[in-house]
Structure 1
Amino acid sequence: MDQLLTADAFFTLFMLILLQAVLGFDNLLYISLESKKADPSRQSFVRKMGVGLAIILRIVLLFVLMSLIQYFQNPFASLHQEGLLEFEFNVHSIIVLIGGVFIIYTAIKEIWHMMLMHEHEVEDKSKKRSETMIIVWIVIMNLVFSFDSILSAMALTSHMDYTPQLILMSIAIIAGGVLMIVLADKVANFLQKNRMYEVLGLFILFIVGIMLLSEGGHLAHIKIFGNPIEPMSKTTFYFVIIVLVIVDIVQGRYQKNLLAQKAKEEAILEKIESDN
């Protein structure tokens, strides 16, 4: 326990909380978009309840991973056809792959609805069940996203004894969860007030799904025609996000200028017509 009162322990705790915050960005975006399917008056409750339950289950997952980490990493199904297809699936890779597929499906479905201008309509009789399902999906995806953060946290604290390691990671998970609860409403409110950024958010979510698929494929050691699937690095991910944001800003500014120019031209034409 003396390890908890050292400068190294406090620095490690700071790094763990920072890790939870950075890796929780994509999760936060998913929570904000998913909670929109609930009744407007209940969306804040849905987000807080989903994240709150996820915090508890994250700590449970932490206990499970620390006790059974070898079973999550050991392959249970493999295929080796050199030059065609190779893989070694384990529990970790399956969870990440399923999460990636679900995220991509969600993003594409929402983009398709947005293109068709269809709003999510929920009948009154199914609102309660839908609210419960939204919370369930928020919890499930929170756990999917938490795998990497927990494994990274275990690597950061590998030099410590079991009990201090567990305490520090639990504190970081709770702190990261509280931060997520605070920011979830702010992100959701921002997207609600700036509807034009919803498209950007959905495409970022799509990139998140691609990242999870690449990571799951790497964990499963998948090779297609002898070419291994490489995971998308966090650096690449954030670079793509920055490019998307810049393109969205430039496109918005350009569109605004075009509309202003069109309005100016129409005003000039109206003036000419009135003079004639």
Structure 2
Amino acid sequence: MFDLSVFSDPQAWVSLLTLTFMEIVLGIDNIIFISIVVNRLDPKDQKRGRTIGLMLALLFRIGLLLSISWIVGLKAPLFHIDIPWADHDFGVTGRDIILFFGGLFLIGKSTTEIHTKLQGEEEAEGTTPQYSTLTRIILQIIVIDIVFSFDSILTAVGLVDNVLIMILAVILAMAVMMAFSGLVSTFVNRNPTIKMLALSFLIMIGVMLVMEAFHKEIEKGYIYFAMFFSLVVELLNMRLRKQAEPVHLRDSRYD
């Protein structure tokens, strides 16, 4: 079915490594979402929930890669909307619909989690923790996996034209994410400020998806740089809070 001779070309290996790295970067938001919603499960089910969530993400990505012609077809307008102030009709595609509702779901879910955190419902003393069922959490993960899979696959199609390389890159990236998903989940959920920052990232990503649904493309490099910069600042704040004494900056005039 697949031509393995493609790997005799060094460029194929470069493409594989590049795409694997890109898939890992694009999968970070997927891991963050899964880490947060899985925390709603009974502790004994959380590892299982993360594994199922990432395996579903892998299956969705491979399935979409094997249906590239259908993916390309989703970019074709299903119907047009007449906008009075615009000089042309707005063509609504299948991709637009998926991104729009996926973005709204991500915004709504993240906002609900922030509200719960601010109200202190998770830390209420003298109450029995209310855990969600595994089925309910998996359904939420499926919804967001579908949305993030489209973003991931569209990036893959834009970088590589060989389906075998795409599938291998997705499998390798998912293997890396599964290996570190437990550490990421523990770190996010043990640090309230990091969890709040992660939820804010998800709201930003949800807004980006909605804007893309309206054909307003945002350079993802800016989004990921803002996320990285905010994370670094918060890590510095966490380190400062752990120190017994404040850090005093030196003034070179008195050296």
Amino acid at match of 2:219: S
Amino acid at match of 1:188: S
Change (3 A) 1:12 1:252: closer
Tell me by how many angstroms 1:142 deviates: 1.7
**Residue in 2 aligned with 1:77?**
79
Report the equivalent of 1:211.
208
1:122: which partner in 2? 130
C-alpha separation in 1, matches of 2:30 and 2:194 = 17
Aligned pair count reads: 237
1:150 maps onto 2:136 in alignment: no
| Counterpart residue number, 1:34 | 37
Distance 1:245 1:86, change over 3 A: farther
User: Secondary structure, in 3 states, of the residue corresponding to 2:80?
Assistant: strand
Residue of 3, 21, 27 corresponding to 1:24: 27
- Could you tell me which of 205, 216, 233 is aligned with 2:219? 233
How far apart are residue 8 of structure 1 and its match?
0.9
Structure 1 residue 256 displacement after superposition? 7.2
Q: Secondary structure at the match of 2:218?
A: coil
Query: Partner residue of 2:116?
Result: 113
Mapped partners of 1:20, 1:239: distance in 2: 16
* Aligned-pair CA distance for 1:97: 1.2
State how far apart, in whole Å, the 1-side matches of 2:178 and 2:76 are: 34
- Decide which structure has greater helix share: 1
Q: Is the Cα contact below 8 Å between 1:103 and 1:206 reproduced in 2? A: yes
Q: Which residue of 2 aligns with 1:267?
A: none
SS in 2 for 1:112: helix
Residue 191 of structure 1 is matched in structure 2 by 188
Shift of 1:246: 4.9
CA distance in 1, matches of 2:201, 2:72: 33
Could you say which residue in structure 1 is the equivalent of 2:169? 172
Identity %: 29
User: Equivalent residue of 1:37, what SS?
Assistant: coil
| Kept in 2: contact 1:51–1:139 (CA 8 A) | no
Q: Aligned equivalents of 1:73 and 1:97: distance in 2?
A: 14
| Structure 2 residue aligned with 1:201 | 198
TM-superposition CA deviations, 1:30-70 (whole Å, max 9, x none): 11111111111110110001111221222112112x13234
Change (3 A) 1:98 1:196: same
The structure with the larger Rg is 1
CA contact (8 A) 1:50 1:136 kept: no
Q: Give unmatched runs, 5+ long, in structure 1.
A: 159-164, 219-229, 262-276
**Is this contact kept in 1: 2:56–2:145, CA < 8 A?**
no
Give yes or no for contact 2:98–2:147 (8 Å, CA) kept in 1: yes
Correspondence 1:44 to 2:47: yes
